[in-house]
Every structure is written in structure tokens, then in C-alpha cells.
Amino acid sequence: TIRFQNTGTDTAFNVVITDTLPPTLDPTSLLVGASSHPMSWSISGPGVLRFHFPDILLTDSTTNEPRSHGLVTFRIRPVTLTPGAVIENEAGIYFDFNDPVITEPSVLVAEFSTGVEEHGAEVMIIFPNPTMGIITLTGAELIDARVLSLDGKLLYTARSATKPIATIDLSGLSPGTYLLEGKSADGNRRTVRFTKL
């Protein structure tokens, strides 16, 4: 998810987001999801992803703070990764003809199950990492997720019997480093370390 806000002094008429995908992500697996406003997207060159919000008329934050926000979501698979591989990504957000606002780098760390699976280990990725609050889970369809402190104390639990857990709101956590332990329907567990800002 790429979130943006018009913190300028006037309405933004056009917003363009560019994201040069790192070589650790497979651009052919890109699935663009929901967006806050109508937009078009394209991918070109060596994985240059572009979202265009024409005539967005995004109000500035001093005039109407709730209506000054926008977002676009997408999912993408990594190429073959080794345990501990790091994927870093950032995007440039252009409001009309202004210089781009560069997002904070999103850092993803791939971790694998220690069990042996019939089709190999699935990667569980959480992003953004570090996070301010809401994280998105990809790569493993989880029915149970637990957040633990580094000393093993259980801090948060989420369960779903009907569909995989896709997002978790961790805005109530204090800043620090935590572990997210996820369990899929087949009983396999995966653990990822993340940082809450």
C-alpha cells in the first residue's frame, strides 16, 4: 500500500506515483488492488511502476484534513529468496508539477518455516516494515497470527475461520522490535521480525 497526503497549500489536480521495483520482486506477478480515487497504472522498463490519478482534486490538509489523503494497493511476488533476504522499496509521489515526495523506505525481511513442506517453504512477508501501525501480510495464507515481544510475551492475537488474514492493525503497540508468528490452514508456522515506529 502506498499512502499519500496533500500537505500543500492548494488542491492537487494530478498525482503521479513512481516506484522502481527492486530486482528481488517479480514484475510479471503484479496485482493492482484498490485505490482511493480513480487511476490508471503502467509498468515499463526495468520494473518502473507508475500510478496516475488524473483530475484527483485532492484537497489540501489545511482545508480538509480527512479528504487530503489517498492510497493505492498492490501485491507482488518476490523472486526466489533465501532466508533473511532483505527487500527495500520506496516510491516518489508527484503532486501536480512539484518535486516528488519520496516515501520512507519499506524494508521486508523474508523468513521461512523450519518445517518441511510438500511444495517447499512459503515466504511470509509483512509490509511496511518498519511500520507505523497497519501491516499487510503476503505470501502465506494465515488463519492465526500472534504478535510477541522478543522475550516471548504474547501481545496480540488475530484469528479468522473464513478467510486468510490480510492486514493487522498494530497502532496500539509501543515503538520497538517484535515477532509476528503466523499459522496457515495446513498447520505450518512462520515467524517474521518487525519494527514498530
When mean pLDDT is compared across 51-60, 90-99, 105-114, the lowest value belongs to 105-114
Tell whether 131 and 176 lie within a shared domain: yes
Residue where a domain terminates, one of 105, 138, 161: 105
Q: Going by C-beta distance under 8 Å and a sequence separation of 6 or more, which residues neighbour residue 43?
A: 27, 30, 49, 50
Beta-carbon contacts of 110 under 8 Å, excluding residues fewer than 6 positions away, are 78, 81, 82, 83, 84, 85, 86, 87, 123, 124, 125
3-class SS at 65?
helix
Are 115 and 78 members of one domain?
A: no
Same domain assignment for residues 33 and 99 = yes
Helix (H) or strand (E) holding 183: strand 176-184
- Whole-angstrom distance, CA of residue 30 vs CA of residue 112: 22
77 with 119, same domain: the answer is no
Same domain, 191 and 139: yes
Q: What is the pLDDT of residues 50-66, one digit of tens each?
A: 999 999 999 999 999 99
Domain match, 98 and 18 both: yes
Say whether both 18 and 64 belong to one domain.
Answer: yes
Q: Is the dihedral of CA 127, 133, 136, 137 positive or negative?
A: positive
**Does residue 125 share a domain with residue 32?**
no
9 and 100 within one domain: yes
Q: Of 13-17, 112-116, 136-140, where does mean pLDDT reach its minimum?
A: 112-116
145 and 180 belong to one structural domain: yes
| 101 and 7 within one domain | yes
Domain count, the chain: 2
Look up the domain containing 124 and give its range: 111-196
* pTM over 0.85, yes/no: no
Place of cell 490508471: 40
pLDDT class for 153, splitting at 50, 70, 90? confident
pLDDT tens digits for range 163-182: 777 788 888 888 888 888 88
CATH of the domain at 154: 2.60.40.1930
Distance CA 12, CA 6 (A): 7
